[in-house]
Amino acid sequence: MNDTNVPLSAKAPPEAVLEALIQHLDVLTPELRKAAAYVLENPNDVGVSSIREISDAAEVKPGSFMRMARAIGFDGYDDFREPFRESIRQGVSPFPDRARWLQSLAKGGKLGSLYADMAAAAIDNIEQSFAAADAEQLKAAADTIVDSDYVYVLGVGINHALAQNFSYLAGMAMDRVEAIPRSGSVAVDDLARAGKRDVLIAMTFKPYRREVVEAVDLARDQGLRIIGISDSPASPIVANSAHGFVVQSETPQFFPSTVATVALLETLMAFVIADARPTVIASIERFHERRHRLGIYLDDWRTKR
């Protein structure tokens, strides 16, 4: 790093420290970037762990955390850690009733414990994901979508289903929204004609899918505005995106949880609708009126046997 860094104080809020780490990721050495990524993904550990404990968890040497702290403007690691410790000292334990509820669920034996663990993970994922964003960020992303010529929604594997769902819902309100990769295609080909007036919403989670990262890199080169959704501020599709959102995917089961991702996408869609012209609402109403008229909906289901 150089002498142009703006010094950070031990009295800085933790959010300012994390933002400084994000801004410096590209210029940190691989070892320091690994330490920074651990802090970005586990900020709560900073305030409660010794430098030895956190370096063991991050699988780097303790000196890496000291050099990382100095690289972003702190005098040393103790000053770097102080904002996180102060945040813990001033904090309170939220949701005591929820904690008692979850404990009661676990009393039903092994399956009861699994049920409690799944419920706790789903709630925590949503809470942490929404705490990491705010209404201004979502509105800015929605503005970008509404102002675009074409919106591509990229996800592979289970995330392709989420991309298709977002595209389906958006299609009720606006034209030119498409889930990629298309059937029989690859994402980089689907973006071949995309340009600066277009938007790419991309999502991938650890271990990051190569085809998604490569498609995002290509889209950046072509001037598309990127909305990245991933599980880490250090994710290659979140860093340097026009709008980046970090969602949690922890779960007791083998596969990553998609609960928080679905919640974020639904909220983003709500902001898009709220941000759109009145003709968009009329378009949605016509869409459903046509379905009723064509008999797609079973309006009289209560009388059916």
What strands lie across the sheet with 198-203, from one edge to the other? 177-180, 150-154, 198-203, 225-230, 243-246
Counting Cβ atoms within 10 Å, is residue 276 exposed (0-12), middle (13-18) or buried (19+)?
middle
- Which pLDDT value is given to residue 106? 56
pLDDT at 282: 77
Do 128 and 135 touch, CB atoms closer than 8 A?
A: no
**The domain defined by 14-90 carries CATH number 1.10.10.10:** yes
Q: Compute mean pLDDT per 10 residues along the chain, 305 residues long, and list them.
A: 50 86 91 92 83 91 93 90 78 46 55 76 89 91 93 96 93 86 94 96 94 96 97 92 93 83 94 79 78 77 49
Q: Nearest to residue 249, comparing CAs of 231, 271, 228, 269?
A: 231
**Quick one: 135-292 is in which CATH superfamily?**
Glucose-6-phosphate isomerase like protein; domain 1 (3.40.50.10490)
- Of 233, 60, 56, 262, which Cα lies nearest the Cα of 169? 262
Q: For residue 219, what pLDDT is reported?
A: 97
- In whole angstroms, what is the distance from residue 242 CA to residue 143 CA? 12
Q: At what angle do helices 259-275 and 135-146 cross, to 10 degrees?
A: 60
pTM: predicted TM-score of the whole model, two decimal places? 0.71
Domains 14-90 and 135-292 fall in the same CATH topology: no
The distance in angstroms from the start CA to the end CA of the chain is 73
Query: Where are the domains positioned within the chain?
Result: 14-90, 135-292
The SS3 of residue 86 is helix
- The conformational region for residue 148 under phi > 0 = left, psi -120 to 50 = alpha, else beta, is beta
Q: What was the pLDDT predicted at 101?
A: 52
d(CA 276, CA 284): 12
Q: How many residues does the chain have?
A: 305
| Structure-derived torsion over alpha carbons of residues 208, 126, 48, 93, reported in degrees to the nearest 10 | 180
